[in-house]
Structure 1
Amino acid sequence: MAHGAVFGSLSVPTHCKNDEFSLQQRERNPLLRLFPAASHRHPARKPAPIALTTRASLSVTKEFVLRSFRDRRALKIISGLQNFDKENVASVVIAAEKGGATLVDIACDPDLVKLAMNLTSLPVCVSSVEPMAFLSAVEAGAAMVEIGNYDSFYEMGKQFSSEQILKLTRETKKILPSIALSVTVPHTLTIPDQVILAELLEQEGADIIQTEGGKYSNPSEPGVAGLIEKATPTIAATYSISRAVKIPVMCSSGLSAVTAPMALAAGAAGVGVGSAVNKLNDVVAMIAEVKSIAESLGLSKAQLLEKSTFSQQ
């Protein structure tokens, strides 16, 4: 099935406007109620930390977002930090919604956030390495921010040091102290150094530590053996980090329905899946892949109940 056919049947918007966020939509989606309607906002001004009057509501949302991690059953579907293709992002969001995920992770762009929120009742996470960019995405409705998904930067030869990650974390916490924050520990560090960085990130107030590494693993075996080999780096990091910190650890990168349960067994509170879903060319295939992973984690029935609870809040 081509993207166009799916979008035609679902009437997916090709662009997002302020008038899409009607009173009815804001009543239906709790995240939209955290911010004033566009017509009531003040003129543009220098970005500042979220107002104190909003923080109580954000804290409630944060607790809800983190619940699936604390229950050790989080499944995040990732479209990609630099993926601004609206059709592909929409397909990934639809797959996450229909496949049984607990949240979806997209590029840090307010228009993409609005698009995603028109397609799903799942919490929307945005990824970036620019803390100030999170502000507009959170105002658009993002419920969680992620410093990570560095793959596209590695391809350009850019790596991130522990000092850089800590600086980004401090800046983000200063700007958005009440938003759920996930931080990825770079796979380019040795595992002992990843553990040290994770401990420091916990001290800085990160809510979730995410691991990575599978994309750069080159399996020597095909089939199931290759899938296990590909996931080994991120699962190894998860095992070590989860025993050093008290906050939840999300195992991400190179995972599949075969290896996702292994990540939980290694100590993960949830898994993040990107290329196994977003590289597929058919939204039906994407949904099937998400369902397969969700079922391997035992999420399907629980997620239906959780999503119903979230959409009614």
Structure 2
Amino acid sequence: MYLSNITLYNSFKSKKVIKVIAGIQNTNMYHIAQIASAANLANASYLDISANVKIVKFLKSFSSLPLCISSIDPIDIYNCISAGADLVEIGNYDTFYNNGIYINSCQLIQLVKEIKYLIGNIDICVTIPYHLNLVEQIILAQNLKDLGVNILQTEGVFINSLSKKMPRLTNSLSSSLISTYFLSNYVDIPVITSSEVTSFSASVAMQYGAYGIGIGSAIKNNSSVIHMVNCINEVKYSMYINSLMKHDNFNKTECCFTIKNNKK
């Protein structure tokens, strides 16, 4: 794993990353300040915001967390990096999807090349489009690694062909978790699970190989900073319990192995 930002490197090394998402279309400074304050108080790993220079400068004036700007516009990304953003995410394809446009692997690779040319060694996260089949997702992820992409993110979008009785949450999250499982097994790049993540699903994501999760909708609808902090802490606790369970299972396995081998 390589990350040029030392703060991000330490967060990802722990495999307990929490990315707090303010929203790519959220330009309400008061609301963004609430989310940023909650993320700071809960010791989140980093903030994900719209690629807006004013927002970057505003948050840099009081928040100590690394800032990730999300966009597919190379010029907006370049300007935000110049303003002090720490990390770039190429993703949030919702505006494309809403217009019936689905970005393909070749287009995404070309976009990454263009952005890397503009920003140099700044860390880059790329969201793997959900509409690609799993083989295409893995091949794309491997190509992105070769280009120097540092982090992958999974996404999930409502699938209309599924039963109308099945909640949107289930559809969206299932897609993201399946991608997390396969990408983490076939590509040696940290994976962030996003899309409708809750305290329960955060634990599942970690079991599926995620280095961390992106949490947005679960906190944006809360009315106060305290409620937002509690929501983030619930996710952190879920991830902590998951790490303890992994440790306990390892110890139990090791113990049983030792006992069996000591029997005469």
TM band (smaller chain): 0.7 to 0.9
Q: Kindly state the Cα deviation for residue 280 of structure 1 after the two structures are TM-superposed.
A: 3.1
Q: Kindly state the Cα deviation for residue 221 of structure 1 after the two structures are TM-superposed.
A: 5.9
Alignment CA distance shift 1:216-1:152 (3 Å): farther
The match for 1:251 among 188, 193, 199 is 193
- Aligned residue runs from structure 1 range 155-304, under 5 A: 155-213=98-156, 220=165, 230-298=172-240
Q: Kindly state the Cα deviation for residue 265 of structure 1 after the two structures are TM-superposed.
A: 0.8
- What is the number of residues matched between the two proteins? 238
Q: Kindly state the Cα deviation for residue 256 of structure 1 after the two structures are TM-superposed.
A: 0.5
TM-score by length of 1: 0.70
Q: Given that residues 74 and 101 in structure 1 are in contact (C-alpha distance below 8 angstroms), is that contact kept between their aligned partners in structure 2? A: yes
Amino acid at match of 2:225: V
Structure 2, unaligned stretches of length 5 or more?
A: 242-264
TM-score by length of 2: 0.82
Alignment CA distance shift 1:187-1:229 (3 Å): closer
Q: Kindly state the Cα deviation for residue 82 of structure 1 after the two structures are TM-superposed.
A: 2.2
SS in 1 for 2:186: coil
- What does residue 16 of structure 2 align with? 73
Q: Given that residues 104 and 125 in structure 1 are in contact (C-alpha distance below 8 angstroms), is that contact kept between their aligned partners in structure 2? A: yes
- What does residue 60 of structure 2 align with? 117
State the Cα deviation string for residues 280-303 of structure 1 (Å, max 9, x = none). 34333222211211221229xxxx
SS in 2 for 1:79: strand
Alignment CA distance shift 1:237-1:110 (3 Å): same
Structure 1, unaligned stretches of length 5 or more?
A: 1-58, 300-313
SS in 1 for 2:23: coil
**Distance in 1, Cα, partners of 2:7 & 2:226:** 29
State the Cα deviation string for residues 17-75 of structure 1 (Å, max 9, x = none). xxxxxxxxxxxxxxxxxxxxxxxxxxxxxxxxxxxxxxxxxx98523323212321111
State the Cα deviation string for residues 245-281 of structure 1 (Å, max 9, x = none). 1111111112110100111110111111121122334
Q: Given that residues 199 and 245 in structure 1 are in contact (C-alpha distance below 8 angstroms), is that contact kept between their aligned partners in structure 2? A: yes
Alignment CA distance shift 1:191-1:210 (3 Å): same
Amino acid at match of 1:207: N
Q: Given that residues 20 and 47 in structure 2 are in contact (C-alpha distance below 8 angstroms), is that contact kept between their aligned partners in structure 1? A: yes
**Distance in 1, Cα, partners of 2:118 & 2:172:** 36
SS in 1 for 2:68: strand
The percentage of aligned residue pairs carrying the same residue is 33
Superposed CA RMSD in Å reads 2.3
Higher RCO structure, 1 or 2 (CA under 8 Å, sep 6+) = 1
